[in-house]
A = this chain, B = another copy of it.
Amino acid sequence: MKRLLLSRVTLLIVALAGGVGAARFLQGLVQVVPQSQVTIIGNVGDDTKFYGLHISPDLDIVAYTLAGLVDPLKGWGFKGDTFHSLKTLQRYGCHTWFNLGDRDLATHLYRTEQLLQGKKLSAVTADIVSSLGLIVRLLPSTDGMLQTYVSSGNRRMHFQEYMVRFQTKPRVSGVFFKGAGSARPAPKVIQSIIEADGIIVCPSNPIVSIGAILAVRGIRSALRRTRALVVGISPIVGGKTVKGPADKLMKALSIECSAVGVATLYRDFLDTLIIDQVDRKLAPRIRSLGVKPVVTRTLMKTLTDKVRLARIAVSEVER
Listed in ascending order, the chain A residues whose CB lies under 8 Å from chain B are 51-53, 78, 81-82, 84-89, 91-94, 101-107, 109-110, 112-113, 116, 127-128, 131-132
5 closest Cβ contacts across the A-B interface?
A: A88-B106, A84-B102, A102-B102, A92-B110, A88-B103
A51: B residues at CB distance < 8 A:
109-110, 112-113
Partner pick for A52 among B87, B101, B103, B109, CB 8 A cutoff:
B109
Output the nearest chain B residue to A86 by Cβ-Cβ distance: B106
Partner pick for A81 among B84, B94, B112, CB 8 A cutoff:
B84
A81: B residues at CB distance < 8 A:
84
Q: List 11 additional A-B contacts (Cβ < 8 Å) besides A81-B84, A88-B102.
A: A82-B102, A84-B84, A84-B102, A87-B103, A88-B107, A89-B110, A91-B131, A91-B132, A92-B110, A92-B128, A93-B127
Contact of A105 with B105 at beta-carbon distance under 8 Å, contacts A84-B81, A91-B132, A93-B131 already known: yes
A89: B residues at CB distance < 8 A:
106, 109-110
User: Shortest Cβ distance from A84 into chain B, in angstroms?
Assistant: 4
User: Shortest Cβ distance from A237 into chain B, in angstroms?
Assistant: 35
Per the bound structure, the CA–CA distance linking A93 and B128 in Å amounts to: 10
Partner pick for A85 among B52, B106, B113, CB 8 A cutoff:
B106
A93: B residues at CB distance < 8 A:
127, 131
B85 touches A109 (CB 8 A): yes
User: Shortest Cβ distance from A94 into chain B, in angstroms?
Assistant: 6
User: Shortest Cβ distance from A52 into chain B, in angstroms?
Assistant: 5
A-B contact pairs, 11 of them (CB 8 A): A51-B113, A52-B116, A85-B109, A87-B103, A88-B102, A88-B107, A91-B106, A91-B131, A92-B107, A92-B127, A94-B110
User: Shortest Cβ distance from A133 into chain B, in angstroms?
Assistant: 9
B113 touches A52 (CB 8 A): yes
Per the bound structure, the CA–CA distance linking A126 and B53 in Å amounts to: 23
Per the bound structure, the CA–CA distance linking A103 and B105 in Å amounts to: 12
